[in-house]
Structure 1
């Protein structure tokens, strides 16, 4: 008889056992909040499945026991646990071709790269989420879009948004909603919104959970990190093209030139391959100060040093006030 039980991940030995089991199935251990394990009558592991926030992942099953409805037991346990934690919209990333295994549990495909597929279950489908974003767009409007993390909002972000806004009738700025950055989403969103409030053709929205971030994209079933990054970029590009471009009639996606970060470079090059011809991709040169690009990472480094004089040169007033109030000597 198969037993299903939660594994205590606070015990290091348990994590090592889980990592070894996953490795034996060609998978990597990732950050998890829950991991449910299936054991046979002798106590041997025959399957496992985990959850991080509202993403179900790290599914591994003994090949010899695949006809015993083990997946049903795991998914039921994880979905029940997710609901108890208040997650009503759930996602699964799995290998392409495996998506049908989860159809009977109410999961529907969102996008498929040919290597990985994203599945969703819940009432907040991508279509319903987009319908709640209200922007008056006429058929003749030239619409552009930008996705920013703004961790925090800098003069470089402001320059990118302002420069792009001059090229279109309406510009939609999506601020990455996933809270995996130093500054919380609510603050990043407010700083961007307030920092461009004078640009009347600019509309700022949360990115939603459908513009995927590295923090929630599980690379555990892709052996090479470069391949994982590439598939993440392709998946994100496909979702943006299939849903966001169509909904807002976006004809231009603006990117900041990236001379430093290789992952962002890969992401930008993927967008250049996937989005055209429906959506033109335009790369804007980065704003510089003393011949150095202005970056949020530089702001964070100066903040760690308490160097507010340097920060003042890099960020708009709205960001400077926020940093001084929350991280200054008198905060």
Structure 2
């Protein structure tokens, strides 16, 4: 590498340097991802020529100035970025990019997980997906209808309970995946604990801890997606494609159950994408039938976790007790 090129690392508290990274990214028609914690940048004669970032275990905002592309320089940038992640104990990493970069990131030790609409890819540098699928396959159950639900439960309500009850009735066995990421009002540990307690009497279910393979909207990248109107749809399609092609076959899942969504347009659109992605003919995997279950209501209004949080904030405990199981209510009251 040219000796006049110098690399540096800094975190997101270095506001002036972050602004320079943002300006550089804008110059190559990319955006700064606001969740980056650690940056790597390269300079030549005081001019920034490359950068990259780390958010949790996801590499983001990797960019090289046009005059340095094709020189193998990107590999040096990736090496610096991987070293920065390794210094922080983050060895099992993910990267989102465009399909044209698959071969390059494979050279850097990453393997493709899924590609969506020829617009976005997700790759990892570990064999964790294979391990995850092997672990799931040990929990496989026999039956003609093997159902599934993915839930955040922030927190667990009687609405969630009703969805599980109805899905369990229609299934020989029901697999419930709890979103793992701590980007909610309640921690993953508390959320899964409330789910386990609230469903303890239902026998034909298995509750799974979520994984990095259930894609969160909080970590989904937008910095290289030019059509901002397509972001929610791309997120949904990538997340659902991974579920269909990677997760579901390990458990022989045949159905996915979801509550109707009368309030949130984004969630309702996600449900409609679910029907398309999981239900359409696909040579990679069997189709999965999506069944929408009418949401449980209280006082003519669908029960939601957001209404629980609002009642809790307003200290309306009597009303709160009507829309959450006793186990959730006890937890919430003790938390006050």
TM-score bracket for this pair, using the shorter chain length: over 0.9
SS in 2 for 1:200: coil
- Aligned-residue RMSD, C-alpha: 1.4
Tell me whether 1:191 sits opposite 2:194 in the alignment. yes
Q: What does the per-residue CA deviation read over 1:103-128, in whole Å, with 9 as the maximum and x for residues that have no partner?
A: 1111000000010000011141x221
The match for 1:55 among 54, 58, 63 is: 58
- How far the C-alpha of 1:228 sits from its partner, in A, is 1.3
Task: Give the match for residue 9 of structure 1.
Answer: 12
Q: Distance in 2 between matches of 1:297 and 1:95?
A: 35
Q: TM-score, normalised by structure 2?
A: 0.93
8 Å Cα contact 1:3/1:38 also seen in 2: yes
Q: Distance in 2 between matches of 1:21 and 1:304?
A: 43
- How far the C-alpha of 1:234 sits from its partner, in A, is 0.6
The match for 2:297 among 288, 297, 306 is: 288
- How far the C-alpha of 1:16 sits from its partner, in A, is 2.1
Q: Distance in 2 between matches of 1:297 and 1:27?
A: 34
Tell me whether 1:35 sits opposite 2:39 in the alignment. yes
The match for 2:152 among 125, 129, 149 is: 149
User: Aligned pairs, how many?
Assistant: 324
- How far the C-alpha of 1:190 sits from its partner, in A, is 1.1
Task: Give the match for residue 69 of structure 1.
Answer: 72
Deviating more after overlay: 58-67 vs 149-158: 58-67
Q: Distance in 1 between matches of 2:229 and 2:303?
A: 26
The match for 2:309 among 300, 315, 329 is: 300
Q: What does the per-residue CA deviation read over 1:36-61, in whole Å, with 9 as the maximum and x for residues that have no partner?
A: 11111x21111110010100011111
Tell me whether 1:120 sits opposite 2:129 in the alignment. no
Runs of 4+ in 1 over 3 A off after TM superposition: none
8 Å Cα contact 2:96/2:221 also seen in 1: yes
The match for 1:107 among 110, 117, 133 is: 110
The match for 1:241 among 229, 239, 244 is: 244
- How far the C-alpha of 1:182 sits from its partner, in A, is 1.1
Q: Distance in 2 between matches of 1:7 and 1:111?
A: 31
8 Å Cα contact 2:140/2:251 also seen in 1: no
Q: What does the per-residue CA deviation read over 1:262-298, in whole Å, with 9 as the maximum and x for residues that have no partner?
A: 2212211111101115110111111111111111111
SS in 1 for 2:217: coil
Q: TM-score, normalised by structure 1?
A: 0.94
SS in 2 for 1:26: coil
Q: What does the per-residue CA deviation read over 1:74-112, in whole Å, with 9 as the maximum and x for residues that have no partner?
A: 211221222222223100000122121111111000000
Structure 2 alignment gaps of length 5 or more: 281-286
Q: Distance in 1 between matches of 2:41 and 2:104?
A: 19
- How far the C-alpha of 1:163 sits from its partner, in A, is 0.6
Q: Distance in 1 between matches of 2:43 and 2:239?
A: 36
- How far the C-alpha of 1:5 sits from its partner, in A, is 0.6
Q: Distance in 2 between matches of 1:298 and 1:70?
A: 52
Q: Distance in 2 between matches of 1:276 and 1:269?
A: 11
Task: Give the match for residue 96 of structure 2.
Answer: 93
Q: Distance in 2 between matches of 1:245 and 1:123?
A: 18
SS in 2 for 1:132: helix
8 Å Cα contact 1:90/1:121 also seen in 2: yes
Q: Distance in 1 between matches of 2:60 and 2:269?
A: 25
- How far the C-alpha of 1:136 sits from its partner, in A, is 4.4
Structure 1 alignment gaps of length 5 or more: none
Q: What does the per-residue CA deviation read over 1:214-250, in whole Å, with 9 as the maximum and x for residues that have no partner?
A: 1111111113433111111110111011012211111
- How far the C-alpha of 1:8 sits from its partner, in A, is 4.2
